[in-house]
Amino acid sequence: MLSLVKSVLKSVELYLTLKNKLFFFELTNNHEKKRKKIIQEIENIRSNDGDADRADLLREQLISEDKSFEHLSAFYSKSSERDSSSDK
């Protein structure tokens, strides 16, 4: 009976770990898509002699996105390190 409970708990732990990795993977993909979209828009504005102020705002948005993603990545990295050390 005890081994069954341990097995179920281990299965739940593995499921949650996989779900967490999938979340980070999707977060990374969304960040890259958003980043590429902003960069493309900046390039379009600059190449068409568009509004320089708009391009500067987009550049600031890009920097903000990168910092936000960096923060989330660091948080994920710390939590995954903590999880891997608790397995030992």
What confidence tens digit (pLDDT) does each residue in 46-56 have? 888 878 888 89
Task: Tell me the C-alpha distance between 74 and 80, whole Å.
Answer: 10
Q: Tell me if 55 is assigned to some domain.
A: yes
Give domain status of residue 58, yes or no.
yes
Element (H, E) at 51: none
Residue with tokens 């009976």: 1
| Domain-embedded: residue 71 | yes
The answer to pTM > 0.85 is no
Residue 34 located in a structural domain: yes
61 occurs within a structural domain: yes
What confidence score (pLDDT) does residue 61 get? 93
pLDDT score of 60 more than 70: yes
Q: How many domains does the chain have?
A: 1
Range of the domain at 42: 26-80
Q: Is residue 48 part of a domain?
A: yes
In a domain, 6, yes or no: no
pLDDT tens across 13-38, in order? 999 999 989 998 999 999 999 999 99
